[in-house]
């Protein structure tokens, strides 16, 4: 059967593939599960910590960036593992880049949440 090329059928198929990606991330990736659980805890808190709509948007955006980075990291790792199990400098480098992206996303969460919480509760 041919893939739908446009319209609602294509959009629905894309949503199915996206949902499969979320499920695979949850099932196979501990770091993704941890990030989802962190988001589940922090998302409601964003509406208390954030002083206005911009604060809340920044708090939530940082969490989404973390999820995105974890999914990309998992995709890179799966692709490298699919290519082969033998050690190769470029394979290691690709996995390290993915891990670095996840770390930067986690640091972004800490920076945004820390700054907004400090402004709300401790500072200016």
Q: Is 97 within 8 Å of 105 (Cβ atoms)?
A: no
Q: Which of 70, 77, 86, 89 is catalytic?
A: 70
Position 7 scores a pLDDT of 87
Position 4 scores a pLDDT of 62
Longest dimension (CA), the chain: 61
Position 123 scores a pLDDT of 67
**pLDDT by 10s per residue, the chain, length 124:** 566 677 898 999 999 999 999 999 999 999 999 999 999 999 999 999 999 999 999 999 999 999 999 999 999 999 999 998 889 999 999 999 999 999 999 999 999 999 999 999 986 5
Active site residue 70: yes
The vertex-68 CA angle with 63 and 69, nearest 5°, equals 95
Under CATH, to which class is 30-122 assigned?
Answer: mainly alpha
Position 96 scores a pLDDT of 96
Q: Is 71 within 8 Å of 21 (Cβ atoms)?
A: yes
Q: Taking the model in full, what pTM does it have?
A: 0.88
Q: List the chain domain ranges.
A: 30-122
């Amino acid at each position: 059967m041919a893939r739908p090329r446009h319209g609602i059928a294509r959009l629905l198929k894309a949503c199915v593939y996206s949902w499969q990606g979320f499920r695979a991330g949850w099932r196979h990736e501990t770091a993704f599960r941890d990030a989802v659980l962190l988001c589940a805890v922090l998302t409601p808190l964003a509406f208390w910590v954030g002083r206005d709509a911009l604060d809340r948007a920044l708090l939530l955006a940082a969490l989404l960036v973390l999820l995105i980075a974890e999914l990309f990291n998992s995709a890179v790792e799966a692709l490298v593992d699919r290519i082969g199990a033998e050690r190769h400098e470029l394979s290691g480098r690709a996995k390290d880049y993915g891990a670095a992206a996840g770390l930067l996303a986690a640091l972004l969460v800490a920076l945004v949440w820390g700054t907004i919480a400090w402004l709300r509760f401790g500072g200016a």
